[in-house]
Amino acid sequence: MLLLTRLWQIWRHYPHTNRRSFLPILVYITACLITALIILLPFTGTYSTLLQQVITFHTTAGAALIADKAYNKVLIENFLQANPLLVIAALYGLLVGLVRRDWRVLPLLGWSLATLYLLWQQVPLFSRHFVALTPALICLAVIGLASSIQLKNARESMQNNHKSRSNHTQGTDNDRSIVGTTLAVVLGEAVVLGLAVIMGRRAVMRWGATALALLLILATVAVELPQYPSYYTMVAQRSHDTYATLQMRVADDVRNAIAPDQYIITDGQFIAALADRNTPPDLVDTSMVRIASGYLKYPQLITDASQPQVHAILFFTNRLKMPQLTPFFTWVTHHFHLKTKYGNGEELWVR
């Protein structure tokens, strides 16, 4: 988005922009390409596997779980209802930007709509996926505040004809480029707003757009912040509940059952991490999505469990006991012995 904004400034011939202004952009693009090549370098010769696990896997999972798409509308509605002030602030920023013809809102609008469409098509869709939509909404809300400030400055510029439009544009551009200055402007306007109310209706109208944008952002923060202490309190309480105690107990059993250089196959990778033990590399993900989409089948589990490095099998979330993997559990009962049974299908098997 910063890149698009800079291109927009160059295209509009902002002060201090010329053909040389494209040089940092070219350097940035080159650096991104080099970084991407460095990241992909370890996968040289295995690009087909990479594409299969990153792209094909998700398309296959989407086809296998297509029935879950019916719940996407409910999840999207829940997100919008849970963040009404943020959505209103974003819509207000979009409206102000369009009225002022601040075309920077168009890339943000495109970003938001594209993300929303991808979420609509995503199968399965989880609540955590909506973090992809939040930055675009925040950017639109901030655009509303910035555009409101610019509207105010534009009125002052028309009232003071001796100020040229280029100087006005340069000044506002410099203000936006420095975070500290922007914060100072926001705080300053909050103070002046109070004076404006005392001064009368004309002043209130003059500062109304900025006040509304600022009020929406502050209201969003005020509503969101109180939720964090309660969340962390809940997490702290859950760290001492029965399930957390069971997790620690199972982790201790795993730690005592196998050596650090020995593998464990499990559908509870968090337990393996607590025990500081590793799983076979191709079984770090034993999610329901991989199983339901057919990307994790019982022959693969049996092959991996047959490796001499594997010394334990932990059934903890019942994913490895799904109907598709029943033959694997039967195989385990013949090649491992039951060490501990915790109840509800949670079992630790060792060689």
- Dihedral through CA 192, CA 195, CA 200, CA 201, nearest 10? 30
For residues 253 and 329, membership in a common domain is answered with: yes
For residues 215 and 189, membership in a common domain is answered with: yes
Q: Which residues form the domain of 139?
A: 61-224
d(CA 39, CA 141): 34
- Give the pLDDT confidence score for residue 191 in this predicted structure: 43
- In this prediction, residue 195 has a pLDDT band, given cuts at 50, 70 and 90, of very low
d(CA 260, CA 278): 8
Q: How far is CA 167 from CA 5, 9, 157, 158, 195, in A?
A: 19, 15, 10, 13, 27
For residues 177 and 273, membership in a common domain is answered with: no
Using DSSP, state whether 314 is helix, strand or coil. Answer: strand
Domain assignment present for residue 176? The answer is yes
Cis before 124 (ω within 30): yes
- Give the pLDDT confidence score for residue 70 in this predicted structure: 84
- Give the pLDDT confidence score for residue 218 in this predicted structure: 76
Q: For the chain, how many structural domains are there in total?
A: 3
Q: What angle do CA 116, 118, 121 make, to 5 degrees?
A: 110
For residues 108 and 147, membership in a common domain is answered with: yes
User: Positive or negative CA dihedral for 329, 333, 339, 341?
Assistant: positive
Q: Look at 300 and 67; give whichever has higher pLDDT.
A: 300
Q: How far is CA 334 from CA 148, 253, 264, 338, 351, in A?
A: 72, 21, 17, 10, 10
For 239, the token pair is 């760290």
**Most confident residue range from 143-147, 174-178, 316-320:** 316-320
Q: Look at 172 and 115; give whichever has higher pLDDT.
A: 115
Average the pLDDT over 293-312 and give the result: 93
The Cβ of residue 315 has, within 10 Å, a number of other Cβ atoms equal to 23
Mean of the per-residue pLDDT values of the chain: 79
For residue 137, the surrounding DSSP H or E stretch is: helix 134-159
Domain assignment present for residue 236? The answer is no
Average the pLDDT over 258-274 and give the result: 94
d(CA 259, CA 216): 56
- In this prediction, residue 52 has a pLDDT band, given cuts at 50, 70 and 90, of confident
- In this prediction, residue 184 has a pLDDT band, given cuts at 50, 70 and 90, of very low
Domain assignment present for residue 20? The answer is yes
For 123, the token pair is 């199968």
**pLDDT(8) > 60:** yes
For 106, the token pair is 């168009």
For residues 113 and 180, membership in a common domain is answered with: yes
Largest Cα–Cα separation, the chain: 91
pTM (predicted TM-score): 0.61
- pLDDT tens-place string over residues 204-233: 444 555 666 677 777 777 777 777 777 677
